[in-house]
A and B are shown apart, each in its own frame.
Chain A
Amino acid sequence: MKRRPTAPRRKKAPQRGGLWGATEKLSRLRKTNGLLAYCLGLYGFLYLPLAVMVAFSFNGARRNVVWTGFTFKWYASLFHNAEMARAMATTLEIAVAASVMAAAMGMLAAYAMTRHAPFRGRGLYAALLNAPLMMPEIVMGVGLLSFFSRVGLPLNFWSLACAHALIALPYTTGSIRARLLSLKDSNLEDAAMDLGATEWQAFRQITLPLARPAIISGALLAFTVSFEDFVTTFFIAGIGIVTMPIKVYSMMKFGVTPEVNALASCLLVLTIIALTINRTLVKETKS
């Protein structure tokens, strides 16, 4: 859209025809392709480890590097591992609890920030809501650890889920806030209240249903954040709470085993699914 108005101006530049113009065009093409090639190379760097991991999760050899044949045995041994199933269940439970909490808090906070009268220090509050994104995870981890033990809060399932909810809060707030801001222009809530609805009725019957895609996509990001979180969990998970990333960490410390590849590949597939659903939802709200 932005580019359109500039197009005619470009035409004003003197056009050189013939062979000279053709070579100029060609060199410009090559230049853009050079940038494209560079970017593809960078993507190659980002995906190399992921590709290697997926490839070797199907490798028959115990020693990782030599390819000895295609096998599913690492996946099989993964799925028959009771400890692994327990870790998976714990991780899912924590992620569900954390994302529900983060979505509920995010919805309330976003509603208050967009619908209620501006209060003093609102900009600062918005920055504070985003602070968990900026804070290096190690600071969160050791901070929570020292604070919990100082006030005597037990390190258990719920304290971990609540901490995850805070780390995920910027994602839900951000996604829901953007949606509520765009809904504000449509004045649908004002119309409902003009027709006699109370604020609560307008919230229940207008705002909430219309904000639902944003709530779901925010909650999905929150779920992924909680599911993948290692550093914070590493510091504050009590004894006996083993989430998937913690399990992967201890397997890695123990030594190189192909099961880790299989496990990591499964986690990668989960991430891709979550991100794809999220993108689809975001697109839906935009159209």
Chain B
Amino acid sequence: MKMIHAEKLVYEYDKRDEEGNVIGTNRAIDGVDIDVPQGSFVAVLGHNGSGKSTLAKHMNAILVPTGGTMWVDGRDTRDPAELWNVRQTAGMVFQNPDNQIIGTVVEEDVGFGPENLGVPTDEIWKRVEDSLRSVGMLEYRKSSPNKLSGGQKQRVAIAGVIAMEPKCIVLDEPTAMLDPNGRREVIRAVEKLRKEKNVTVILITHYMEEVIDADQVFVMDDGHIVMHGTPREIFSRVDELKSYRMDVPQVTMLAEELRKRGLDLPRGILRREELVEALCRLR
């Protein structure tokens, strides 16, 4: 079963000069094919301006393709009749934690989505409690979002999406504005969700460390998908990654450098433990 499926997806927007006259078109996404099976964890990598956020916005029907088709759980995102179903199926978490929290109390914010869906009151409370618990924010339910740290705010935003019971969560650079601690918090929350609720997770990011547990990794550059494979496959192609202005996790980098100097190490080492093990095996 395909959760997200795109065929020859194209998104163009008008380029304008200072007076607002159209002087051409920009292709943010250019012929992207993507396939995400249900229940999997997919990461999309790319540096700034690679089109990865634009792609994410297509999964939630915030943007509709100008060419090609995007299906979310079998629904064409261009069909206006399916718009709200698509948005309920694929929940979206954005980059800036402050700009996506609507409520002034944590629990009210989490309840915002279900309220919009017309869920009965008792059910809303149950869902709010459940989703706050699953991101570990239940004890903050009565607090004001302004008093939370970035990582906590982002977890509340995730809970807000979970409360809508989506089949799929799209996280559009959820950690870009967080410190390392907040980043770890958020990634851990996402992992836990994936295991407990079996939701499909699509993580858009430019932090390599966050994608090593993914089932599939897509690398985007200039609107195209340029690399696709398991994290191990992707990270074994260090030079290619670098040509797309991507950094490689430090451990992988170190292993690669050592390999180039003649040490007999396997390609695509992702974790520190793996490197240690491989190094020990050398003797």
Is the A/B pair a real complex? no
Interface residue ranges, B against A (CB under 8 Å): none
